[in-house]
Every structure is written in C-alpha cells, then in structure tokens.
Amino acid sequence: MMKYIVIAPLITSLLFSCGKTSNQPGIKEATRQHRDSAVYETGGLIVKKLSGHVYQHITFLNTQSFGRVPCNGMVVINGNEAIVFDTPADDNGSAELLDYLSAKLNLKVTALIATHFHADCVGGLKEFHKKGIPSYANRLTIRFLNEQNSDNIPQNGFDGELALNVGDKKVYASFSGEGHTRDNVVGYFPDEHIMFGGCLVKEVGAGKGNLEDADTVAWSGTIVKLKAKYPEVKVVIPGHGKTGGVELLDYTEQLFQAANHP
C-alpha cells in the first residue's frame, strides 16, 4: 500500500493546476471516472489503456486543501520499450508503476520526461534515477528546480522540442509558450495522435486552478499555437481530470480568453 504524503495548504496550492472548484467533479466522482477502463488498479495506482501504444497512469496525493487528488501521466510503448511522461506523485507510486511496466508488460523504460517543475510532475523522480532511467525536461524546468534546491531534478535539458525513440517510433515533447507555468511542455505521440497536455490543458468544466506561476495573458494564445502545431490530435490527457479529445484544448483556450476579457 502506498504511503501518502500530506502537505501544507500553501505548498499544495503550488503543486496542482486543476484544484477542485465549484464547477469541477468532486474527488470521489473524479476517482470513479479514472477507474473506468482500468487495466490495473491498487489503492495508489490506476493504469488505463487508451490505445495500442498508449497508457495513462494515475496516482494520488492526500492533501489538506483538496483531499485526495488524482494526478495523470502518460506512458508510450512500442516493442519492449516505454517512455513515461511525468512521474507518479511520489517514489512509492513510481516504484509501483515501474514494477507494473516491467513485470506485467515486460517493458524496459528508456526515459522519463517531466512536463514542468511542480511536484505532480517530478515527485517520484528519484525512483526512476535509482533504476538508471534517464530523465529529460525543458531547461527552464531544471533551472527552476535548482533554484528551489529540489531533490528531484531531471538530468537532461532541452529547448523547444525533444524527440526520442521508443522502439522504431518517435515521441515528442515540445514547448509552445507559457500558460500554467513558464516552462510547461506537452507530450505527443503522432502515430496515434495522442497528446499529454499536462497542467497546460484543463479537463472540460475545470476552473482556472492554481495561478501562482501562471501567465494567464499568454495561456490562450499558447493553446492556439498548440492546436496549430498538432492539428491531427484526437486524444488529449490533461494533468488532472478526465481524458477527452480536442474539446479540452478548445475549453482551455476559451477559459483564459474569458479571463482576459471580463
């Protein structure tokens, strides 16, 4: 059983982009939605198969401000290899996910890509490093974590776009502009038109969430650029909440357009 972390309200507000608001599903409902189509589930980890090559991983934190918060990540597989986008919420979750991928799916994880510097993206990074799995992030992400004297710092930085091989296919991480944070990137698997939007992308119906490190003026424009860069996207995984289609991008764009034009 995973040992959950309880963190102070102020720190919690910095970690989660999709904090519970009055127009969002409750935590119980969000958890039920995550369990739909699960191929693996314990008290601390849910894995959903979204396509032939893509899985969604969901882990949880017990927090004083928001209760039990589900956090999403993506796993792209091909042949006997896998690349993970965003770590589980802590090292216990990472250990369980890595064990599932290795023991149950017979996969070798070849890389971890963090989509921004908040703990819901890097909180379980030490377990990946312990197993010799290389980690990647926007150079700004690494800079911000170093400034915080974090224990969870990705090893390899990139600017603009990163392309990595998973078997004989490619996955991408790319920066289109500021939004939830100055460093937020998204993951994309073009073979199946699946995007991991991370906390840059909101589930439909979500509030604006934590804006502590956000650029709300740039946010909607960043989504416009993202849609232009990946016009064939079909499935979008947000950092928190329910996976959907391009309507998540449309909703996020409109949410921050409205915020800029009261």
Residue tagged active-site, from 20, 57, 118, 169: 118
What value, to the nearest 5°, has the Cα angle with vertex 154 and ends 110 and 69? 90
Amino acid type, 85: F
Q: Does the annotation mark 240 as catalytic?
A: yes
Do 241 and 202 meet the contact criterion of CB atoms below 8 Å apart? yes
Residue tagged active-site, from 20, 57, 169, 180: 180
Surface-to-core class of residue 19, CB atoms within 10 Å of its CB (0-12 exposed, 13-18 middle, 19+ buried): buried
Q: Does the annotation mark 116 as catalytic?
A: yes
Residue tagged active-site, from 116, 169, 208, 242: 116
Residue tagged active-site, from 120, 121, 152, 169: 120
The helix, strand and coil proportions of the chain, stated in percent and rounded to the nearest 5, come to 30, 30, 40
Cα separations in angstroms, 9 against 4, 16, 19, 114, 197:
15, 11, 12, 23, 25
Q: 69: closest CA among 122, 26, 104, 35? A: 26
Q: Does the annotation mark 53 as catalytic?
A: no
Residue tagged active-site, from 72, 78, 152, 210: 210
Q: Does the annotation mark 180 as catalytic?
A: yes
Strand 161-166 to strand 156-158: parallel, antiparallel, or no bridges (unpaired)?
Answer: unpaired
Residues 6+ apart with CB under 8 A from 20: 26, 27, 66, 67, 69
Q: Does the annotation mark 261 as catalytic?
A: no
Q: Does the annotation mark 210 as catalytic?
A: yes
Residue tagged active-site, from 169, 199, 208, 213: 199
Tokens representing 183?
Answer: 């460093």
Q: In whole angstroms, give the CA distance from residue 223 to residue 20.
A: 22
Angle between helices 216-229 and 247-260 (to 10 degrees): 150
Residue tagged active-site, from 20, 202, 208, 242: 202
Element (H, E) at 46: strand 45-49
Q: What amino acid positions are annotated as catalytic residues?
A: 116, 118, 120, 180, 199, 202, 210, 240
